[in-house]
Structure 1
Amino acid sequence: MAGGLFALLDDVAALAKMAAASVDDVGAAAGRATTKAAGVVVDDTAVTPQYVHGVTADRELPMIKRITIGSLRNKLVIILPIALLLSQFLPGLLTPILMVGGAYLCYEGFEKVWGRLRGHEHEAVPAGVVGADAEKAMVSGAIRTDLILSAEIMVIALNEVADEPFLNRLLILVVVAIAITVAVYGVVAIIVKLDDIGLALTERSTGFAGKIGHGLLVGTPKLLSTISVVGIAAMLWVGGHIEIVGLDDLGWHAPYDLVHHLEHEVHHAVGGTLGSIAGWLTNTLLSAVFGLVVGAVVLGVLHVIPRRKKAAVAH
């Protein structure tokens, strides 16, 4: 009897070790997948603050909370099941779907650039002043953009762990989705509240802390304006990169080959660490330019179609 009990305990211990090893494997794979998606994570962090720029201070965190919940819903409820099912049964559809999302990012980025060039961009009116409808529209816009960036993050993560068993892939992607969402919107929340932190420091201290607070008050609006520009550039960069890689996967290699050839040439010409940075900047710039072109085409098509419909109705 005792021997049977000890044998059972040995089996339980062995299962526990296997479970622990599996958890370690999932954690390590999730870490690798998150690292691979780091570039898009940076873009996500840069894009989001523009959606709460100009919002009254008391509405910033509630809006970020709603965007965070929307982002988790995007990743866990929409993207995760679709990505897993497609990777299991129809892997060839992942690229076209991603390219549609990439085209949307290019369109949004180009539309913002075009608005600035034409001088039609206006200052954001605080959603707290305009009302709940304006706030809802801003949150919805942020969640739509997040859907595209989240899809890119999840697909990159999925490609990194494609050889894992199905259950491990599921667990890894859940870990990646939660970790990245908390990290991105935690940073965004800190960024948009920097001016409030600065105000609190200036009110409580006239010494070193007060100087830091004054610096935050002066610097935060400039930081948010800079982040807004970076966010637009990020839309074009990520969208253009998705299109270039997608076209390469679908058989048109010229854009991908050109970008990577120029990246390699710049890297080789500069050399060393600076060469790596210069090569990356070259790739980023060319991807953004390609995204600008794609966005212009999409915007043109979207403007031409309604005009044709109006012309048809007129006749």
Structure 2
Amino acid sequence: MSGLLALLDDVAGIAKIAAASVDDVAAAAAKAGSKTAGVLIDDAAVTPKYVQGFEPARELPIIWRIARGSLFNKLIILLPVALLLGIYAPWMVPPLLILGGSYLCFEGAEKIAHVVMPHDDHSGGPDGSHDIGDPTHLEEKKVKGAIKTDFILSAEIMTIALSQIDQPSLWMQAAVLAVVGIGITFAVYGAVAVIVKMDDIGLWLSQVGRLGLTRALGRGIVKFMPWFLKALMIIGTAAMLWVGGSIIVHSLAQMGWPVPEEFIHHLAVDYGQGSPAFEWIITAASDFVLGLAWGLVLIPVGVYLVAPVWAALFGGKDEAGAH
């Protein structure tokens, strides 16, 4: 009997440790995931473009295919690479973060320049063609392009998450990265699925609603969604520049050049009037300005050097610049 009680006591102890570990993983995943806000908002804002031009019945299957590809990118390819970096080359994490932050700054600045400066848009969408042609072929092309673009964003997400993990053990790091990867993927593409189908929901309510209020709600949803997508794009662009600038500033400090981070800190303290909220706003605004400036510098590099090389390697402008 005493042996059974001892066994039950051991089982209870293991259960407590496991529960504590789950809590630790959840807390670490929440901390790491919160640092990827700019990437997530941008991804949610842009992904709906990949289902434009298709029948409503194909929208959710396309999003699901992209989500599966995103999970493969994060869990099968990037998670083992991130763990190996953490073990054998942790010094590479700050430079990779700077690379990812620079990508965010470039994308955000390019979107602003695209709106502000005159341009002749021939792309017609992520596939680079106005003509839908064969829907099956176009769907395959768009899904592949979306997954390739997702690989870049997923690499940023996993690198940012890795930099925020304080857990010493390898399996805890793997668990946190897996939770972050799965959680972020379902959050982003779940939100995209809802956004994409809101027009259909609104149209359905406006047509079959029994009450005038229900039909009016449906018409309101249909009218509101284009404005919502524009607002989401603006917020996503601002978040990219803010987060990209913040990543670069913090990573430079980790690499031994703390001047930008210290300057922004002193600026926030001096003009924040002792208010944490004002200090955060000044810090975020400074990161945004630096991110925009750096992104504008990178636009010629991205357009005239990186994009042609990417197109030559992967076969198309879409994958290089769809985002």
Q: Give the whole-Å Cα distance in 1 for the aligned partners of 2:65 and 2:309.
A: 34
Q: Give the whole-Å Cα distance in 1 for the aligned partners of 2:76 and 2:95.
A: 20
| Structure 1 partner of 2:181 | 177
Q: How does 1:216-295 map to 2 (within 5 A)?
A: 216-260=221-265, 262-264=267-269, 267-268=272-273, 271=275, 273=277, 276-295=280-299
Q: How does 1:1-315 map to 2 (within 5 A)?
A: 2-109=1-108, 112=111, 116=115, 117-122=117-122, 123-124=124-125, 131-205=135-209, 206-260=211-265, 262-264=267-269, 267-268=272-273, 271=275, 273=277, 276-302=280-306
Shift of 1:82: 0.7
Q: Structure 1 residues 162-171 or 246-255, which shifts more? A: 246-255
Shift of 1:170: 1.1
Q: Give the whole-Å Cα distance in 1 for the aligned partners of 2:304 and 2:146.
A: 23
Identity of aligned residues (%): 44
Shift of 1:199: 0.3
- Say what the alpha-carbon RMSD is for the aligned residues: 3.3
Whether contact under 8 Å (1:105, 1:235) holds in the other structure is yes
Gaps of 5+ in 2: 311-323
Change (3 A) 1:282 1:134: farther
More helix by share: 1
Question: Amino acid of the residue matched to residue 177 of structure 1?
Answer: G
Shift of 1:171: 1.2
Shift of 1:294: 1.8
Q: Give the whole-Å Cα distance in 2 for the aligned partners of 1:77 and 1:63.
A: 21
Whether contact under 8 Å (2:37, 2:243) holds in the other structure is no
Gaps of 5+ in 1: 307-315
Residues 249-297 of structure 1, C-alpha deviations (whole Å, 9 max, x = no match): 444555545555555555449x563563354234224313322322333
Change (3 A) 1:59 1:254: farther
| Structure 1 partner of 2:314 | none
Change (3 A) 1:46 1:267: farther
Q: Give the whole-Å Cα distance in 2 for the aligned partners of 1:274 and 1:54.
A: 44
Change (3 A) 1:146 1:236: farther
Change (3 A) 1:39 1:111: closer
Q: Give the whole-Å Cα distance in 1 for the aligned partners of 2:49 and 2:240.
A: 12
Question: Amino acid of the residue matched to residue 119 of structure 1?
Answer: H
The alignment partner of 1:193 has SS state of helix
Shift of 1:80: 0.9
Change (3 A) 1:30 1:102: closer
> When the two structures are superposed, what TM-score results if normalisation uses the length of structure 2?
0.78
